[in-house]
Amino acid sequence: MRFCLTLLCLATAASMAAPSIQKTKFATRDLVIAEDVFAPLEGDCAPQLQKAIDKLAEAGGGTIFLPVGTYRLKSPILLKDGVVLRGDNHERQDLCEKFPEIGTVFSIEFGANSADGTPAFTLESGTGLRELVFWYPEQTADKPIPFPWTVAVVNARNADNQSIFNCRFVNSYQAIAIGPKSNELHTIRNTVITPFKTGIEIDSCTDIGRLDHINLSADAFKYTKLPHKANTANLDDATGVIIRRSDWEYIRNITIDGLDTGFLFCKGVRGTTNAVMANSNITNCKTALKLQELNGIGLAIYNTSFAATRFPVHATALFATNVQFNLCSFIALDNNAEILNEGTGILSFRNSSVNVPKATLTNGNMQFSNCSSKANSFTIIADKEARGANIIGGQLATIAKIQNNTTVATIVTPLPKNIQDATPKLPAFTPKRLFPDFKPENLVLVTDFGASPTLTDNGPAFQKALDHAKTIAPATVYVPAGWYHFNSNINVPPNVELRGIFDVPHHTASSGSVLMINHNHGDEDADPFLTLSQNSGLRGLTFWYPNQPLENPVPYPWTIQGRGKNCWLVDTTVGNAWQFVDFASYDTTGHCINYLAGGLLRRGLFIANSTQGDIVDIQFNPHYAVRLPRNFPLKVQNSPGAHGTHIDFQRANLEAISFDNVTGETMLGTFLYGARDGIAFYNHCDIDILMHGTDTAWHAVKLECGKNSALDFALAQLVPLGKKNIASIVTGSNFAGKATFVASQFWAGNNTAFLDGPGTVILDQFNTLTGPVVVNNGTCTIAGAEFGRPLDAHIITGPNAKSVSIYAVTSRNNALFTKFHDPNQVAMFANAATNVNYTPTQGRSANLSANADSPATATFLPNNIIKEPGNIRDCADVSCEIVQRDDAHSGKHVFRLKGRSTNPSYSYVYCTIFSEKFLVTPDTVVSYWIKPLTKLGSHSGLDIAFENFSPMRDLGIADTRGIPQHTGTPKSPVGQWSNVVVNLGQTKAVGQTINRIMLAYDTRNADGELFDVLFDDINITSPLPQEIWSEKPICNNGQVVIPNSTNSTIKYTLDGKNPESKDETYTKPIDIKEYPTELRYAFLDKDNNQLPFVFSHVITQP
């Protein structure tokens, strides 16, 4: 159609009328219902459009429909809480090449040369932009003009649920900004952006954000027939997506083509991110994926392609954590293209296709396991600061080589015969239907049948409306904005949808069409409040229980129950349900759930005895029970601490998502916070799950399904937490099926997995910051994984473990340690060993043993307060000396540091107790006991100064419990002795020289005036002889020699397992009979105790 900037007035902003069906030029999957219609005006539309928005927001929210036309904007728009602007355009804007024609267009005519100016659209909570085109007529595409953000989230706390669906950004300089104020729950879907500078930037988002089906390329500009001031778009400086701080960002189905940088992950104003990405394609970029900073959980990526002219992946010097790639492809679009890691973190590639000529490792680690390549060769260049490079198994290992310029042992090896690796055969994770096939022509208003927010029981009026809709079905029964009280139940008949005002996901904080349930208080077995007949559903509604307290909650029946096939729930929210959705009591085969949200207490979503269902974007979080609109009619007043009690109740009682005898189900993008059982499976289940997150649960995933069950997880993020947390993955005694987890992230809690069932669990790549994998029963494969915490045993097997395979598993701290009930049931190969990039230098190995009764190996320096700048601030009456105490940890004396803070905002003091020079070798361990006597004293610890290097407190390291070792970090409860152990040699301090050991107090938050703390049994030791760090095994003619110039006792194995005291003692060259073979060996100390360092050498040929 023709567009003109001087369109005649087709209509004026309509006065508020009853909601009505809107006919559209472009096909839609749903019925377009609007509270208001706003057509184009002659001249600037912004003032009148803002008035329409304000008026609808004041009335409780809803949708303003904008018919086909051009809407000129000469000033910004503030989209207020609960209001959606919906235009008329094709729904799949991300496919604009296929669907180029456009309808509703915003012509943005202000903000030139003001990149930091007010955005064209600012979104408050619960708002949405749908089926809209955004265009800057003054933008010069060849030399882009800076403009403010086209769309940005309001700069306010707790800005929840902004949605952008089916939109086209033709020539935005900066398109969409989420943050940097705290925000949650953005959803951007089916959108195309031609970004001249930045497509999407996200910061300060918590739990969680979603990006789905987004195209960032020249397409929006290229295929939109509008008068441009250049024929082609210059995207040479453009970045597609910048993610700063965003917890649990879900990224799927993203296309980025022809930009300078595809994705950039970097630090935001409130920290860094963890995220997952799937089914995406980043191509024709200079840098496809740029990694600056991520949090410790890192990034996991599945089934995604990265093609670039320079860097398919570039991890910069700031990168220090973990990125997992699984079933991904990497393509060089130029002969000079490479994968580059300049940081200290690890890039882990598994089951992937690596079609680049080289990878360069200037620092950190790279590992490729079971990878392939279409190229003739592949080289990893490991520079002198690199920390490890391995190519294990797969076709890539047959063509690859490592140019090793380090002292670290690198590996290029096939797998041995007893290890069978295979790429998991996972499904496409494609839902059968994202939305219900329901678009009736009949609309029924509940208010026409007597429903009103003033009634005490709207049940009869709603039911009259629903029954009438049954007679004219298919039909939509519409609920205008308001708080509708109920004291009776309702049923939705077949081919009827009960619908509220929201066309997008929404939060309880945004009110809307709210059904207030007052009856059946205390009776969970009563009939459900709302029942769905076959082929019926809900959309855009909120449910609330006004009489439900946060503290000591009481039972209620199910809020919603499905009683037939093909039920649906779209954009449906609850605030505080005891039991939310029952799709288990009846067969709901073919159900469709798209964005189900809310706060739950006892049971969330239960599905049983059904097949062929689809679930997309679940969001369960207790904050739906506490973030409420102004003047909300609460009947229960809660105490200030009620929310914490509420969360504790959830963790002890909530069964959030449960499947029982369910097959053919697909789940995408689900998240829940706080539960006993996060997601559970019983009897026979066959379900595909992409991007599921359980944040804090006793059992994040619980498996009790039987034989022939098949569960396929990709990109799971699982956090076991709570008083009785067990593990991220728990299998019960009934589990006899098969569960596969690909590219997972685990943190917090007691165990990564706790497997008690006889079935099979495949853990194909993960990054874990929690405890061990415990295999008490069944079969388990662990491949391509990383353990981020120091543990006494990373993998443990019990008496009923049948078969366990462990290979290509890394550890950020020393070797991979294990504890096996029967080692014969375990196969291991090429796992983490003590492998530090270290060249021995001149210096004395650490040997400090300081018990306060007899500090004999060094001279104690009492009250040696460091006077040089920076080592004492606002402290008085300081003493640091040996004193006699009955509560000494050992003996009768302790080291005591005490004094007085004179500035509660910031005070510290550092006292040298030993002035000794020791060399930090890879085996150097710092150990001491600490007992704070005052709360302020808990902000204390032992610190170490090095020659020409940062002190220990500034190295960002943790002890073996995972507690950071900055001086001011509490390390022990007040009045209790605690042991602090730091593997100093496994940190960046290796190779440095210690010149001073200090006791110190340091805090910016002085809670009190007196600091008083005891220390005892201070040890800094390096038990291994220095010579071993330069001695490597030598293989010649089928025999391996372990150099042993110190004549130490050495234990060794040839099966990939860690040596134990019962294993062979090395006395002569070892005959190697099969290739590859892994030699692992360890040294004993002078008392014949095995030292906690394990060395590995893989022999691939005689």
Residue 5 has pLDDT above 90, yes or no: no
Enter the DSSP assignment of 271.
B
Region 548-559: what's the mean pLDDT?
95
**pLDDT for residue 162:** 97
Omega before 528 within 30 of 0, i.e. cis: no
d(CA 403, CA 114): 49
Region 128-151: what's the mean pLDDT?
95
pLDDT tens digits for 446-481? 999 999 999 999 999 999 999 999 999 999 999 999
* C-alpha atoms less than 13 angstroms from C-alpha of 971 in its C-beta half-sphere: 34
d(CA 215, CA 217): 6
- Give percent of the chain with pLDDT exceeding 90: 80
Contact 33, 479 (CB under 8 A): no
**pLDDT for residue 14:** 36
pLDDT band (50, 70, 90) for residue 1: very low
Residue 1001 has pLDDT above 50, yes or no: yes
**pLDDT for residue 420:** 83
From the CB of residue 886, how many other CB atoms can be counted at a distance below 10 Å? Answer: 5
**pLDDT for residue 146:** 97
pLDDT band (50, 70, 90) for residue 855: low
Residue 509, SS3 per DSSP? helix
d(CA 540, CA 571): 5
Residue 231 has pLDDT above 80, yes or no: no
* Out of 194-198, 880-884, 977-981, 1041-1045, least confident range: 1041-1045
**pLDDT for residue 869:** 52
Omega before 964 within 30 of 0, i.e. cis: no
Long-range contacts of 330-333 (CB under 8 A, 24+ apart): 330/305, 330/306, 330/354, 330/355, 330/356, 331/283, 331/305, 331/306, 331/307, 331/355, 331/356, 332/307, 332/308, 332/356, 332/357, 333/283, 333/284, 333/307, 333/308, 333/309
pLDDT band (50, 70, 90) for residue 884: very high
Comparing CA positions, the residue from 315, 326, 337, 403 lying closest to residue 368 is: 326
pLDDT band (50, 70, 90) for residue 914: very high
pLDDT band (50, 70, 90) for residue 3: very low
Comparing CA positions, the residue from 160, 16, 33 lying closest to residue 539 is: 33
pLDDT tens digits for 1060-1080? 989 999 999 999 999 999 999
Domain 847-1021 is found in CATH 3.65.10.10: no
Residue 556 has pLDDT above 80, yes or no: yes
Tokens for 67, please give them. Answer: 């018919």
- Cα torsion 470, 473, 479, 484 to 10°: value is 10
Residue 15 has pLDDT above 80, yes or no: no
Residue 10 has pLDDT above 50, yes or no: no
**pLDDT for residue 1046:** 82
The pTM is what? Answer: 0.93
Residue 635 has pLDDT above 90, yes or no: no
**pLDDT for residue 233:** 84
Region 986-990: what's the mean pLDDT?
86
Omega before 208 within 30 of 0, i.e. cis: yes
Residue 238 has pLDDT above 80, yes or no: yes
Phi, psi of 467 (to 5 degrees): -65, -40
Residue 580 has pLDDT above 80, yes or no: yes
pLDDT band (50, 70, 90) for residue 1006: confident
Region 253-279: what's the mean pLDDT?
97
pLDDT tens digits for 282-318? 999 999 999 999 999 999 999 999 999 999 999 999 9
**pLDDT for residue 673:** 97
Which of 822 and 950 is assigned the larger pLDDT?
822
Residue 970 has pLDDT above 70, yes or no: yes
pLDDT band (50, 70, 90) for residue 1031: confident
pLDDT band (50, 70, 90) for residue 870: low
What is the Rg, in whole angstroms, of the alpha carbon atoms belonging to the chain? 32
State the chain's mean pLDDT as an integer.
93
Contact 305, 279 (CB under 8 A): no
**pLDDT for residue 901:** 94
| Single-letter code of the amino acid located at 973 | P
3-state secondary structure 437-466: CCCCCEEEEHHHHCCCCCCCCCHHHHHHHH
Residue 271 has pLDDT above 80, yes or no: yes
Region 1008-1028: what's the mean pLDDT?
90
Region 761-774: what's the mean pLDDT?
97
d(CA 1021, CA 378): 42
**pLDDT for residue 434:** 84
Region 974-1000: what's the mean pLDDT?
92
Residues 1026-1099, CATH architecture: Sandwich (2.60)
Burial class (CB in 10 A: 0-12, 13-18, 19+), 1100: middle
Contact 199, 125 (CB under 8 A): no
Which of 596 and 958 is assigned the larger pLDDT?
596
Partners of 618 in beta bridges: 596
